[in-house]
A and B are shown apart, each in its own frame.
Chain A
Amino acid sequence: MLEKTVSTSYREGKSPFTLSMLRLWRNRLAMAALLVVILYILLALMGELNIFHIKDMASNNNFDLRYMKPFTHIEHLFGTDNFGRDVLSRAIMGTKISLFLGFVSGLLMIPIAIFFGSLSGYYSGWFDDVAMYIMSVIVAIPGMLIILSLIQVAGRSFFIIAFAFAVTGWVGLARVIRGSFMQAKEFEYVLAAKNLGAGDFRIIFRHILPNVFHFIIVRFVLNFVGVIKSEVFLAYVGLSIIGVPTWGTMLDDSKLELMSGNWQNLIAATLFMFLFLVSLNIFGDALRDSLDPKLKNVV
């Protein structure tokens, strides 16, 4: 008797997500951008942990050191502001606020968008009508009016501002999710899952949601860009968070300092914001391109 041993060496296929992450990994520009973003996170962490006295220098007033010019002193690289606070430290502390604001508003926004988007796309009955109605109402009011009034009425605290961004921001994402759900529920794999006895909950969250997840990730990344820009706007009209240094408040402070030749706030905040936003834009775009299944065959 001959016993044939079957060779069991086979290669497991890679999941689409792994493939897209590989595509992203090969994109050098995107990886550089991601590195910059990570550096920003570390910088914010350093500020928060008060390494090199960053936190102290950002908040301690020292009137002997008012308006030091940038790039002249090694211990105050970007100079000092009106109150003698170190501008570089303030920009670093501003990084923390920007990161948190983007993160928290994203976390608040995504569950709302998933809830309304997925259920209204999947069921398309009365719930769809209600959800679409809510969305069209929110879109039909100027977003800035909602944000500004909410902050004015409820106070200039961190969570109110994050909440205000989330309230106006979820609609776009929910619409995209709804659209994909409407398409996806006609596909065979959903039918197959249904025939195998899967409940609606399982179909929505286990089967369809992973297919729209790339929209959510990309939106989460690009949400930072929108939030940081809006924060500048809030600071300009005087509704940013009270009592903490943010990039917006720094820019707003520099509004009156330019005439007296004090550019330090403007330079530091612009530089910090610009580099961060460029990196986020580049990384967000690359992420979208690599996760988009339509572009699979390009690489």
Chain B
Amino acid sequence: MIHYIIRRTIYLIPILLGAAMIFFLIFNVVGGQDRYLYNMLPKKVRTADQIEVYRHKYGLDKPLVAQYLDYVKQMVTFNFGKSESRKLPVTRLIKRMVPVSAALTFPAFTMEIIISLVLAALCAFFRGRFIDKLLTILSVIGMSISMLVLIMVGQYFLSYRLHLFPISGWQRGIYAVRYLMLPWLLWVTVSVGYDIRFFRTALLEEVHKDYIRTARAKGLNETTIMFRHVLKNAMIPILTYVVIQIPFLLTGSIMLERFFSIPGIGSLMVTAIFNYDLPVLKAIVMVYTLFFVVFSLLTDILYAFVDPRIRLS
């Protein structure tokens, strides 16, 4: 076990290097450096000699290999320099925005998981009956509506017409909840369909196993079977499904954040892509990759922990 964890942690290094490489290739080789340099600069200083100054400042006059090594050095020291469009150190920018994204995603995610688990359990309990069919149809419908439509219609009716929520905006501190209510609601609406289906399948897979038949044959009632046996065993896929999504929560929801002008990582990422703000993007790639690898390791450990049949090697 410890051996496994150590090996996986060391494997983090090539993954981070690879992620950096892909990112590096997209911007510096596919795009071409002149283009990225040109777009990155503020409009005032887009003159030939200013571009040369900036080229030197960002180390773009070095060979590609040296540039990549610079990037690696930045990752190791976690010092990505200053964001060109926001005039702030990238590290501070990220530190300020991760909590905002987390405030949007984590409560919404928690609510949505609880709601869909309850509904999925309902489906599995009354499988084949009316409520199961209704929820299945509703979840297919939910899966087929675009998030953008829900956001627009939700904002128009709930905020603009009924004045239930503020239309968009952001405040620091506890007042943020006011602005987050509608995004939370929309998040839950969008993702509950997928998750009901996933959880329902996970539960039903257990229901059809032999040991459940045995339990039923020895006379246990359906409620006990459902909560003592099925739910417990179905927790294994459900738990991994939940944990593996946590890194995604940290990059926030690009659509919700942009639409409701919430200053989180998602909207930062999109503006950074448009402004060719490479320092910011580099930092986001690194933070996300780090979290992703750590949480997938955590998932594996959790897996072995809840299911003794699985042995890590």
B145, A137: Cβ atoms closer than 8 Å: no
Instruction: Given the known inter-chain contacts A154-B30, A237-B254, A281-B140, please indicate yes or no for A140 contacting B147, CB distance below 8 A.
Output: no
B251, A137: Cβ atoms closer than 8 Å: no
CB-CB < 8 A to B255: which residues of A? Answer: 233, 236
A137, B18: Cβ atoms closer than 8 Å: yes
Instruction: Encode A250-283 as 1/0 by CB contact (under 8 A) with B.
Output: 0110110011000000100010011001100110
- A134 to chain B: closest residue by CB: B18
CB < 8 Å neighbour of B146 from A137, A146, A270: A270
- Smallest CB–CB gap between B64 and chain A, Å? 16
A236, B148: Cβ atoms closer than 8 Å: yes
Q: Which of B20-28, B120-128, B175-183, B214-222 forms part of the interface with chain A?
A: B20-28
Instruction: Given the known inter-chain contacts A259-B160, A277-B143, please indicate yes or no for A141 contacting B148, CB distance below 8 A.
Output: no
A145, B144: Cβ atoms closer than 8 Å: no
A136, B15: Cβ atoms closer than 8 Å: yes
CA–CA, A273 and B141, complex, Å: 11
CB-CB < 8 A to B269: which residues of A? Answer: 142, 145, 148
CB-CB < 8 A to B35: which residues of A? Answer: 153
Question: Does any Cβ of B come within 8 Å of A18's Cβ?
Answer: no
Q: Which of B92-100, B231-239, B288-296 forms part of the interface with chain A?
A: B288-296
Question: Does any Cβ of A come within 8 Å of B10's Cβ?
Answer: no
Interface centre among B21, B153, B254, B258 (most CB of A within 10 A): B254
Question: Does any Cβ of A come within 8 Å of B40's Cβ?
Answer: no
CB-CB < 8 A to A49: which residues of B? Answer: none
Question: Does any Cβ of A come within 8 Å of B274's Cβ?
Answer: yes
B23, A152: Cβ atoms closer than 8 Å: no
Question: Does any Cβ of B come within 8 Å of A114's Cβ?
Answer: no
B248, A142: Cβ atoms closer than 8 Å: yes
Instruction: Given the known inter-chain contacts A229-B146, A251-B146, A278-B144, please indicate yes or no for A145 contacting B281, CB distance below 8 A.
Output: yes
Q: Which of A99-154 contact B (CB under 8 A)?
A: 133-134, 136-142, 144-146, 148-150, 152-154
Which applies to chain A's interface (DSSP): helix, strand, loop or mixed?
Answer: helix
Question: Does any Cβ of A come within 8 Å of B226's Cβ?
Answer: no
CB-CB < 8 A to A144: which residues of B? Answer: 254
What is the size, in residues, of chain A's interface with B at 8 Å between Cβ atoms?
A: 39
CA–CA, A251 and B285, complex, Å: 29
CA–CA, A152 and B281, complex, Å: 13
Question: Does any Cβ of A come within 8 Å of B19's Cβ?
Answer: yes
Question: Does any Cβ of B come within 8 Å of A241's Cβ?
Answer: no
Question: Does any Cβ of A come within 8 Å of B59's Cβ?
Answer: no
CB-CB < 8 A to B293: which residues of A? Answer: 140
CB-CB < 8 A to A259: which residues of B? Answer: 160
CB-CB < 8 A to B18: which residues of A? Answer: 133-134, 136-137, 140
- A139 to chain B: closest residue by CB: B292
CB < 8 Å neighbour of B284 from A140, A145, A225: A145
- B197 to chain A: closest residue by CB: A285
- A154 to chain B: closest residue by CB: B30
| A-B contact sample (19 more), CB < 8 A, given A142-B248, A149-B27, A225-B144 | A137-B18, A140-B19, A140-B289, A141-B288, A142-B269, A142-B288, A149-B273, A152-B274, A153-B26, A154-B30, A236-B258, A251-B149, A252-B148, A258-B152, A273-B146, A274-B145, A277-B145, A278-B140, A282-B140
Binding site for A on B (CB under 8 A): 14-15, 18-19, 21-23, 26-27, 30-31, 35-36, 140-141, 143-149, 152-153, 156, 160, 248, 251, 254-255, 258, 269-270, 273-274, 276, 281, 284-285, 288-289, 292-293
